[in-house]
Amino acid sequence: MESTLSDPQFPTLSRAPIAEALVDIATELPGNVTLDELRAFCTDDIRKRFHHIQERIQATSEIKFLGATPPRVTSDAHPDGLLMRSDEEALMVQARLNGFTVNKFAPYVTWSQLKAQALPLWHEYVRIARPSKVTRLAVRYTNHLELPVDRDLKECILTVPEIAPGIPQGLPEFFMRLVIPHESGCAAIVTLSTVHPRSNADIYPIVLDIDAFRYVNLEGTNEEEIWSYLDELRQYKNLIFFKTLTPKFLEKYR
């Protein structure tokens, strides 16, 4: 694939405010792959590395309104995969009947190191689950920002809610969600929100969540193209992050 995203040299932040980063690959499996087969993902090596292993439960609810009668509520919950967590590595792996996810919690290292952790686990998922198709790819980064309370919001963040003139301009709490497409085919769900309750009166804590994703139609074994797209999504995430925050504010995380 040829990317239409440029790759500017953004600075490396030695104290990046990343609370969690994840790589997600949505898959379609052959109809004969069962959860019992997926449990084979938990090899002896996996069990030595990930000490907390449990089933992942998918829950759904449906409400039906039937005229004058009370609404009918139905729910369903069933296991659809496995969750494996390593406290030592601050890492979690999800092997599901509809996909694969690696979650890296703080302290975050680098994209190269995250890929080095994720790739062997993806290989094992492909071996066990035999995905016939990959339908969606995503990288998601949740950043916990700390703004001084005496600073104007726009001195730190360039994408912020706008309050109309004539209305009180104080903004103790807010939630803003944007979907930003790119001509390459990537898109990103960008969420900015305040943290409540606050633990420090001198800090205005804000969560910047960037979920960069792309719908695809790839063979499950097409590793080169899958990870090339994930590299591109990470570039798009970086573009949004560094263009959203001001250079002056980013100095505290260098």
Residues 94 and 44 in one domain: yes
* Within a domain: 136: no
Residues 42 and 85 in one domain: yes
Taking 90 as the threshold, does the pLDDT of residue 243 lie above it? Answer: yes
Residues 37 and 121 in one domain: yes
Taking 80 as the threshold, does the pLDDT of residue 16 lie above it? Answer: yes
- DSSP secondary structure string for all residues of 42-86: --HHHHHH--EEEEEEEEEEEEE--TTSPPEEEEEEEEEEEEEEE
* Within a domain: 66: yes
Confidence of residue 109 (pLDDT cuts 50, 70, 90): confident
Taking 60 as the threshold, does the pLDDT of residue 51 lie above it? Answer: yes
* Within a domain: 188: yes
What is the chain's mean pLDDT, rounded?
A: 91
Range with lowest mean pLDDT among 93-102, 131-140, 191-200: 191-200
* Within a domain: 135: no
* Within a domain: 35: yes
* Within a domain: 25: no
User: What pLDDT score was predicted for residue 164?
Assistant: 93
Residues 124 and 49 in one domain: yes
User: What pLDDT score was predicted for residue 43?
Assistant: 92
Residues 252 and 145 in one domain: yes
Residues 120 and 166 in one domain: no
Residues 106 and 165 in one domain: no
Give 20 or 109, the one with higher predicted confidence: 20
User: What pLDDT score was predicted for residue 170?
Assistant: 83
Taking 90 as the threshold, does the pLDDT of residue 125 lie above it? Answer: yes
User: What pLDDT score was predicted for residue 4?
Assistant: 59
Instruction: For residues 57 and 77, give the distance between their C-alpha atoms in angstroms, rounded to a whole number.
Output: 6
**Mean pLDDT confidence for 186-213:** 91
Residue after which a domain boundary falls, among 75, 107, 130: 130
99: left (phi over 0), alpha (psi -120 to 50) or beta: left
User: What pLDDT score was predicted for residue 6?
Assistant: 63
Taking 80 as the threshold, does the pLDDT of residue 234 lie above it? Answer: yes
User: What pLDDT score was predicted for residue 198?
Assistant: 74
Taking 70 as the threshold, does the pLDDT of residue 232 lie above it? Answer: yes
| Strand runs labelled E in the chain | 18-28, 52-64, 72-86, 91-96, 99-105, 133-148, 175-181, 187-194, 203-219
Amino acid of residue 31? G
* Within a domain: 10: yes
**Mean pLDDT confidence for 219-247:** 96
Residues 2 and 71 in one domain: no
With beta carbons less than 8 A apart as the criterion, state whether 155 and 240 touch: no
User: What pLDDT score was predicted for residue 7?
Assistant: 61
| Nearest alpha-carbon partner for 113 in 89, 86, 87, 131 | 89
Instruction: For residues 189 and 67, give the distance between their C-alpha atoms in angstroms, rounded to a whole number.
Output: 37
Confidence of residue 190 (pLDDT cuts 50, 70, 90): very high
Residues 14 and 57 in one domain: no
Domain tally for the chain? 2
Residue after which a domain boundary falls, among 105, 130, 155: 130
Range with lowest mean pLDDT among 61-70, 130-139, 190-199, 241-250: 61-70
φ/ψ of residue 166, rounded to 5: 90, -5
Residues 155 and 201 in one domain: yes
Confidence of residue 3 (pLDDT cuts 50, 70, 90): low
Residue after which a domain boundary falls, among 107, 130, 153: 130
Residues 155 and 249 in one domain: yes
**Mean pLDDT confidence for 169-180:** 91
| Nearest alpha-carbon partner for 249 in 177, 171, 151, 161 | 151
* Enclosing domain of residue 91: 30-130
Number of CB atoms found within 10 A of residue 73's CB: 9
Taking 80 as the threshold, does the pLDDT of residue 77 lie above it? Answer: no
pLDDT tens digit string along 128-144? 999 999 999 999 999 99
Range with lowest mean pLDDT among 55-69, 152-166, 238-252: 55-69
* Within a domain: 24: no
Residues 169 and 242 in one domain: yes
